[in-house]
Structures are given as C-alpha cells and as structure tokens.
C-alpha cells in the first residue's frame, strides 16, 4: 500500500522546483491520508496522484510596449488543474513573484476550494510576471490586451473562467474582458469579477473579505464565542484585507492594523469605518498605506508585520503566501489571548506556524475554506450570466452567508472529532471526499 512518505517523495521528485506546491500538497496529504486508509480503493486508483498533476499547464510570451516605446517581454501562465466538478475556475495574478511553481500551488489549492463550495467549479490559476504598480493605466491596458491575445484561446464560459487576484482588480478585469470581447469572444460568462454595469454581480469585490468574517463568526459561535469586542490584526491593505476589516468592524470587532509589503499601519484603539474608507480612496488615487497612515490616525512602522502587535485575539492574514512564519506565530501566541487565525490569503501561514497554532489549541481556518467566498460568488456571477438576469445585492449576500455556513459545517463533519474542530483537516477531507467520490462515480 502506498505510504504518505513515498507519495510525497514522488511528488518532490516530479516537481523539484516548486516548493510552494510541495508545501500545499503535503498539508493536504497529511489531512486526507486517514481517509485513504479507510477507503483503500482510492489509494489503488491513485486519486491523490491524479489531483496533484494538472490537466495542463500553459506558459506563453507576453510582448508589450511601455509609454516610452520600450518593448517588454513578460511570461504569462494558465494552469488548468482539474475540471472534474465544472469549468476550470481561478484568478489571475499579476506580480513579479509569479512563476510556474506559484501558479501550480494556487491551482492545486483552488481545486479543493472549488470542491468545498459545493458549486460546479473546477480549479485553475493564471497570471503573469508583470507588476501593474507604478505603471500608467495605458500601459496596464496594453499589457492586458497582449496577455489576452494568447489567453483567449484557452478560456470560455464552459471551459475556463478566470477572475482577479493579486494585482488584478476591477480595472484589470475590465481591460482583460474588453480585450477578450474585441478579439471576438462575446460571452459575458468568460470572466468573473466584472463591474455590475457590464455583467458583474453585486458584492463580488467584497465577497472574499466578507465571506472570511462570516466564517470567523460561524466558527466562533460553534465554540460558544463571539467576534464582538475582539482585537483583530489584519495584514494586507488590498481587496481581501480591506473588506475583511470592514465586515469585522460591522460585527463589532476592534481592527488594529492593516499592512503592505513596506510595513504596518497600527491603530492601538481600533480603526474606524470612515478611516478605512479614506485608506481605500487614497489607494485608488495611487497613494501607498505609508503615505496615508498619519492622516487616518495610524502610526506606520516600516518593515514590521502585524503579528508583533500586543494582545491580539484574532489574526487575519490577508496579504500573500507564507507571510506568517514560526516566529510570528510565537509572537502572536505570547500574550496567551490568541483565539483564532483565519486565512484570507492563500497559504499565508508556513507549516511551522500552522503547527504552532494547532499545538496551542487555537482555531485555524485554512484559506481554502475561509477565503472561498470569492470563488463562490464568482460561481453566482456565472449563474447570473447564464440566466441573463441580474441578481440583487441582498440575494448575493444571503447566498454568500449560506455558502460559508455550508463550508463550515462540512469542515465540522470531517474534522470535528474533538471539542476544538480541526478545520484544516476537515476542509481537506471534505473537499477530497467530493473529488474522490465524483472521480469514482464517473469511472
Ligand atoms: P491585492 O493585490 O488587492 O492586495 C494584496 C495586498 O497584500 C497589498 O496590500 C500588498 O501590498 C500586500 N502584500 C503583498 N505582498 C506582501 C508581503 N510580502 N507582505 C505584506 N503585505 C504584502 O490582492 P487581494 O487582496 O486580492 O489578494 C490577497 C490574498 O488573498 C492573495 O493570497 C490572494 O490569492 C487571496 N485571495 C484573493 C481573492 C480575491 O477575491 N481577490 C480570493 C481568494 C483568495 P503591496 O501593495 O505593498 O504589495
């Protein structure tokens, strides 16, 4: 019988230059191996091996011209991981850290996330080595056009439906979708994250952050606790972080930080909703968090992280992968107050940090469950586009809440043997169970 050690060795041998993928696969494998032992036919059928290997991984040259007339060559990617449950689905990331290994890990995670939503969604991820920060709008538009010139051959409403991610917000989705249409693809359902005026669904922008907090509230309530009054450290200052902070404030929490790759903005007594709006406005006009911090009542500490702040009850890492390491976990645990960590970003906690939280009995909501509100709402946007009938904000919000509760309950069903639910194992097992039973049923 295949052992987990042999399986992981084999994954490492086949993917020697993809450390993020190995980290993500090991985390899933350790969660699902007991399920495989209880169902040895899934081991014999090589279900895990089939889930790790993408259906296909596409990389392509993106050639574009900057405002000074200089030609640049970037690399674009689309990893179509698995379409067992529905069309490939997953965001596009524009950042200079993008490479095939990062795309592979995100596409693998996305397959499990899609499965957890209960919706008909497969898994994919894509992006490019292009960083839109500091580029003019016209440069970004030219890049998006060049990127879509190739990507359009691989996507479509029943085939593969990209959305945004780091570096790809509503503006970039607009340019990409505009290029897709101009190049001949008229289907509105070929991308999600569109603005409401041109085929998007209300609340898609907010959905990942709001969904994160719905899941936090549900998990706390399941353990007879509440978010109200708790001190939350949020990392990031982008889409996920800002909307998570806004919803946490609405739920009565005290949000004490936002951050970016330069440092941390700290509000010792808690950020107010209007200050958060000012941050968002300033950022949309091109300012950085450090430029605006003092104007919105925060101190800004360069090169610092939110995890060193005192007396944190809830940590919400919403920036990027592996942003919270073992030393950060130690700092968060030092006050003895930490109750819950919920991953707004994809795999923001390193394996060591995750283990430290589990050992300390802290509730840990893994990204594939806690940030699934974004892809779930993208699934609703696909339904809306297929129906050609707009949905209301209230309907979407109710669906989002129901989806996050369903995901929570599936995690409890598969990871709730002890009084403190093991959400990480529960999420991996629940998603794997759906994928494995489907693969089995489809022969
Ligand atoms: P954005 O581009 O809107 O924001 C990213 C934020 O993270 C920025 O404030 C950025 O700061 C900060 N950041 C990036 N790198 C670091 C770092 N090393 N240390 C500290 N801060 C950093 O992206 P999103 O909010 O959309 O995505 C954030 C995370 O959430 C990603 O992991 C993404 O995959 C995940 N996610 C996003 C979804 C969505 O719907 N958008 C859905 C599900 C998951 P700076 O500007 O300085 O780089």
Ligand 1 mutation pick, 95, 111, 131, 261, max ligand atoms within 8 A of CB: 261
User: Which atom of ligand 1 lies nearest, measured to the CA of 241?
Assistant: 25
3-state secondary structure at position 162: strand
Mean pLDDT of 354-360: 95
Q: Are residues 212 and 161 in the same domain?
A: no
CB 239 less than 6 A from any atom of ligand 1: yes
- pLDDT tens column, 32-84: 999 999 999 999 999 999 999 999 999 999 999 999 999 999 999 999 999 99
* Domain ranges, residue 88: 54-187
User: Which atom of ligand 1 lies nearest, measured to the CA of 258?
Assistant: 9
Please tell me the residue having the least CA distance from ligand 1 atom 28: 319
User: Which atom of ligand 1 lies nearest, measured to the CA of 204?
Assistant: 40
414 within domain boundaries: no
Please tell me the residue having the least CA distance from ligand 1 atom 30: 345
First to last CA, the chain: 21
* CB hemisphere CA count around 205 (13 angstroms): 15
- pLDDT tens column, 204-213: 999 999 999 9
CB 192 less than 6 A from any atom of ligand 1: no
CB 162 less than 6 A from any atom of ligand 1: no
Q: Are residues 33 and 104 in the same domain?
A: no
Q: Are residues 19 and 154 in the same domain?
A: no
Q: Quick one: CA dihedral 162, 164, 167, 173, positive or negative? A: positive
pLDDT band at 438 (very low <50, low <70, confident <90, very high): very high
> Residue 439 C-alpha to ligand 1 middle, in angstroms?
33
Q: Quick one: CA dihedral 328, 207, 436, 13, positive or negative? A: negative
- pLDDT tens column, 141-181: 999 999 999 999 999 999 999 999 999 999 999 999 999 99
Q: What is the pLDDT of residue 185?
A: 86
Mean pLDDT of 272-286: 95
Last residue of a domain, one of 155, 187, 219: 187
User: Which atom of ligand 1 lies nearest, measured to the CA of 113?
Assistant: 43
Q: What are the structure tokens assigned to 221, written together?
A: 């309530």
Contacts of the segment 45-53: beta carbons below 8 A, 24+ positions apart: 45/439, 45/440, 47/432, 47/435, 47/436, 47/439, 48/7, 48/432, 49/7, 49/10, 50/439, 51/82, 51/108, 51/111, 51/432, 51/435, 52/11, 52/21, 52/25, 52/108, 53/14
Q: Are residues 157 and 280 in the same domain?
A: no
123 within domain boundaries: yes
Domain CATH code at residue 38 = 1.10.285.10
CB 166 less than 6 A from any atom of ligand 1: yes
CB 110 less than 6 A from any atom of ligand 1: no
Q: Are residues 183 and 111 in the same domain?
A: yes
Domain CATH code at residue 140 = 3.40.50.10860
Percent of the chain surpassing pLDDT 70: 100
CB 320 less than 6 A from any atom of ligand 1: yes
> Residue 373 C-alpha to ligand 1 middle, in angstroms?
15
125 is catalytic: yes
CA distance 188 to 386: 8
Phi, psi (5° rounding) for residue 134?
Answer: 85, -5
404 within domain boundaries: no
Q: Are residues 212 and 285 in the same domain?
A: yes
To the nearest 10 degrees (0 to 180), the angle between helices 393-415 and 423-441 is 100
Selection from 384, 371, 373, 374 nearest residue 196 by Cα: 384
Q: Are residues 353 and 221 in the same domain?
A: yes
User: How many domains would you assign to the chain?
Assistant: 3
CB 237 less than 6 A from any atom of ligand 1: yes
Q: What is the pLDDT of residue 2?
A: 83
CB 232 less than 6 A from any atom of ligand 1: no
> Residue 240 C-alpha to ligand 1 middle, in angstroms?
7
User: Which atom of ligand 1 lies nearest, measured to the CA of 305?
Assistant: 20
Q: Are residues 85 and 29 in the same domain?
A: no
Contact by Cβ (8 Å): 193, 383: no
> Residue 436 C-alpha to ligand 1 middle, in angstroms?
31
CA distance 23 to 198: 39
300 within domain boundaries: yes
pLDDT band at 217 (very low <50, low <70, confident <90, very high): very high
286 within domain boundaries: yes
User: Which atom of ligand 1 lies nearest, measured to the CA of 372?
Assistant: 43
Q: Are residues 177 and 257 in the same domain?
A: no
3-state secondary structure at position 118: coil
Q: Are residues 354 and 214 in the same domain?
A: yes
CA distance 320 to 277: 22
CA distance 50 to 68: 47
379 within domain boundaries: no
Q: Are residues 251 and 215 in the same domain?
A: yes
Q: Are residues 38 and 68 in the same domain?
A: no
- pLDDT tens column, 288-343: 999 999 999 999 999 999 999 999 999 999 999 999 999 999 999 999 999 999 99
Sort residue 311 into left (φ over 0), alpha (ψ -120 to 50) or beta: left
340 within domain boundaries: yes
Q: What are the structure tokens assigned to 367, written together?
A: 């990204």
Q: Quick one: CA dihedral 371, 372, 373, 377, positive or negative? A: positive
Give the CA distances from residue 270 to residues 64, 170, 234, 266, 297, in Å, rounded to whole numbers and listed in that order: 44, 29, 11, 8, 10
Q: Quick one: CA dihedral 80, 83, 84, 90, positive or negative? A: positive
CB 345 less than 6 A from any atom of ligand 1: yes
pLDDT band at 420 (very low <50, low <70, confident <90, very high): confident
Domain CATH code at residue 312 = 3.40.50.720
377 within domain boundaries: no
| Average pLDDT in the chain | 96
Q: What is the pLDDT of residue 188?
A: 86
Active-site residue among 113, 125, 194, 247? 125
Examine the pLDDT at 417 and tell me if it is beyond 80. no
> Residue 347 C-alpha to ligand 1 middle, in angstroms?
12
CB 117 less than 6 A from any atom of ligand 1: no
């Amino acid at each position: 019988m295949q052992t987990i050690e042999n399986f992981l060795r084999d994954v490492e041998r086949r993917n020697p230059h993809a450390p993020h993928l190995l980290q993500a696969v090991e985390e899933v494998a350790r969660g699902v191996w007991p399920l495989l032992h209880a169902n040895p036919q899934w081991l014999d059928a090589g279900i895990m091996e089939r889930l790790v290997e993408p259906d296909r991984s596409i990389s392509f040259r993106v050639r574009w011209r900057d405002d000074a007339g200089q030609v640049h060559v970037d690399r674009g990617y689309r990893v179509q991981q698995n379409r067992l449950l529905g069309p490939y689905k997953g965001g596009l990331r524009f950042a200079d850290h993008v490479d095939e290994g990062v795309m592979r890990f995100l596409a693998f995670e996305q397959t499990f996330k899609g499965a957890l939503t209960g919706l008909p969604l497969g898994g994919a991820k894509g992006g490019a080595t292009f960083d839109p920060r500091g580029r003019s709008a016209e440069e970004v538009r030219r890049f998006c056009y060049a990127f879509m010139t190739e990507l359009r051959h691989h996507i479509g409403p029943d085939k593969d439906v990209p959305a945004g991610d780091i570096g790809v917000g509503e503006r970039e989705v607009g340019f990409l979708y505009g290029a897709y249409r101009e190049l001949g693809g008229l289907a509105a359902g070929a991308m999600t994250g569109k603005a409401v005026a041109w085929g998007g669904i209300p609340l898609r922008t907010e959905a990942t952050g709001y969904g994160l907090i719905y899941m936090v509230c549900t998990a706390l309530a399941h353990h007879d606790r509440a978010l109200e009054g708790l001190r939350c450290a949020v990392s990031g200052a982008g889409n996920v972080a800002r909307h998570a902070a806004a919803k946490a404030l609405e739920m009565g929490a005290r949000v004490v930080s936002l951050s970016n790759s330069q440092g941390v903005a700290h509000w010792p007594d808690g950020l107010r909703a209007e200050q958060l709006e000012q941050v968002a406005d300033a950022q949309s006009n091109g300012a950085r968090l450090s430029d605006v911090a003092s104007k919105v009542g925060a101190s800004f500490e360069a090169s610092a992280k939110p995890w060193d702040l005192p007396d944190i009850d809830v940590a919400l890492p919403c920036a990027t992968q592996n942003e919270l390491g073992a030393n950060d976990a130690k700092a968060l645990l030092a006050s003895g107050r930490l109750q819950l960590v919920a991953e707004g970003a994809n795999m923001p906690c390193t394996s060591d940090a995750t283990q430290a939280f589990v050992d300390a009995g802290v509730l840990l909501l893994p990204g594939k469950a806690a940030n699934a509100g974004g892809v779930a709402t993208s699934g609703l946007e696909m339904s809306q586009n297929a129906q050609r009938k707009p949905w209301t904000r209230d309907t979407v919000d109710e669906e989002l809440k129901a989806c996050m509760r369903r995901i929570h309950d599936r995690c409890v069903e598969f990871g709730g043997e002890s009084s403190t639910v093991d959400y990480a194992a529960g999420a991996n097992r629940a998603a794997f169970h759906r994928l494995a039973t489907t693969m089995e049923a489809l022969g």
